[in-house]
Amino acid sequence: MRLARSTNVGPVTFRKMLERFGSGRNAIEALPDLIAHTKTARQIKLATRDETVAEIETAKACGAKPIIFGDPEYPALLARIDDAPAYFYAIGRIELLTKTAIGIVGARNASATGCGFARKISHELVTAGYVVVSGMARGIDGAAHSAALQTTGKAAGGTIAVQGGGVDVVYPREHQDLYEKLCDQGCVISEMPPGLKPQARHFPRRNRIISGLSFGTVVIEAGRNSGSLITARFAAEQGRDVFAVPGSPTDPRAAGPNSLIRDGAILCDSADVILDAVRVAEQNSHLFEQIHTFNTDARTTDHKTIAASYGDILASLEQDAIMLDGKKSDQTIESKELIKEENDCGDVLEESEKLFDLLSPTPLLIDELIRTSDLPAEQVSTILIELELAGRVERHPGNRVSRIAK
């Protein structure tokens, strides 16, 4: 744990060092020699024992269990990715980590139609015995988790939420109730230290874990700069299936999935598409190979004899820098949402904008809009009149309404 928390040691460097030295203790003993050969600005600074003990005590206080690379509970699929976390914390049903999982991600400002589809496929996947993995964000993530938690039965799967901040930090704050249910009936995990508030650069790191845990990732409604597309890219790089739900070309939230489909993602219009692909993937037994172990007996402790071959570890420091510095996170929706939440001081979006976000170019029953928004019918009616007068929505036969495409 000290090695994993050392400055500039990311998951790739951590794995390289354990592969080389066999154990954390051996790697720490080799650090002085390694540091001497590190000529770049990315110098390794070993985390102190006191810092690590304090982190462990904080985890104990919130009931979080550390799942360390090599533990029986460590998910085999996650262990197969090159930048698998050295360890992460988990609260809730730890056994869900060893079940077959499918990721569901999408827009935070999702439409009611998109949320409805997320709930539908989440329910069907969990009913079939699978685990739904998402990021506990607003919109699609929240809908997928909620539907999974409501699905019961002896053969039912479950749901795992991967946090951007500490495993004990609720983000967004309006998901306090959802978080508590996930801790009780599902599982919440994070590779960040407990108590750490999420930062924009943490979310791409979180996204690779969502895809890494999953046989495939489903993208429902995502703008062109959405973090959901980062998750899809990770899934493709990890050799996992990417499913995309098509949408109206006039809806900006459909730009991401439609682009993924053009690039070769599997068009997803039902849970059956996902189930068929995952069942085929489950037959590939090599995916379950226990590769996340290291032979501590076969590693030499004579570091000087191998000092000249530190090239791969030094290269891994540069590879980790992209993730640790968050160089690709500034353009994502996550960073904008995080800034907005900090500026709002916890206030929810204005009700009219919240309602408008739930609409799409596809006509939606006003009754469904009322149910999804959790607003009084009279307030929804008033807001719709205001939006209609502003030229932002239009009504359709059958008591339906849609947003007007720009």
Which of these, 102, 160, 161, lies nearest to 128 by C-alpha position?
102
**What tens digit of pLDDT does each residue of 186-199 get?**
999 999 999 999 88
Task: Please report the sign of the dihedral spanned by the C-alpha atoms of residue 219, residue 221, residue 225, residue 226.
Answer: negative
pLDDT of residue 77: 93
Which of these, 40, 39, 42, lies nearest to 9 by C-alpha position?
42
**What tens digit of pLDDT does each residue of 222-257 get?**
988 888 999 999 999 999 999 999 998 888 899 999
**What tens digit of pLDDT does each residue of 101-126 get?**
999 999 998 999 999 999 999 999 99
Our separate counts of H helices and E strands in the chain read 16, 12
Interhelix angle for 24-36 vs 11-21, to 10°?
A: 100
**What tens digit of pLDDT does each residue of 121-169 get?**
999 999 999 999 999 999 999 999 999 999 988 889 999 999 999 999 9
Structure tokens at 308: 């000249």
Task: Tell me: pLDDT of 97 over 70.
Answer: yes
Structure tokens at 34: 């390694």
**What tens digit of pLDDT does each residue of 251-303 get?**
889 999 999 999 999 999 999 999 999 988 888 755 555 544 544 444 444 54
Residues 6+ apart with CB under 8 A from 125: 102, 132, 148, 157, 271, 274, 275
Q: What are phi and psi of 78, to 5 degrees?
A: -65, -40
For the chain, domains (ranges, CATH) are 11-63+295-325 (no CATH), 76-287 (3.40.50.450), 351-403 (1.10.10.10)
Task: Tell me: pLDDT of 392 over 90.
Answer: no
Q: How far apart are CA 173 and CA 346, in angstroms?
A: 7
Which of these, 239, 212, 221, lies nearest to 138 by C-alpha position?
221
Q: How far apart are CA 60 and CA 186, in angstroms?
A: 19
> What b/e readout covers 223-250, taking b as 16+ CB neighbours within 10 angstroms?
beebbbbbbbbbbbebebbbbbbebbee
pLDDT of residue 294: 45
Q: How far apart are CA 223 and CA 257, in angstroms?
A: 8
Peptide linkage before 172 cis (omega within 30 of 0): yes
Q: How far apart are CA 178 and CA 249, in angstroms?
A: 32
pLDDT of residue 328: 47
CA distances from 150 to 20, 35, 100, 236, 384 (A): 46, 52, 19, 30, 30
């597309």: which residue's tokens? 229
pLDDT of residue 352: 84
Q: Taking the model in full, what pTM does it have?
A: 0.83
Task: Tell me: pLDDT of 3 over 60.
Answer: yes
Task: Please report the sign of the dihedral spanned by the C-alpha atoms of residue 267, residue 269, residue 273, residue 274.
Answer: positive
Residues 6+ apart with CB under 8 A from 165: 171, 190, 192, 196, 197, 198, 199, 202
Q: How far apart are CA 229 and CA 31, in angstroms?
A: 37
Alpha helices in 248-310 (DSSP H): 255-262, 271-282
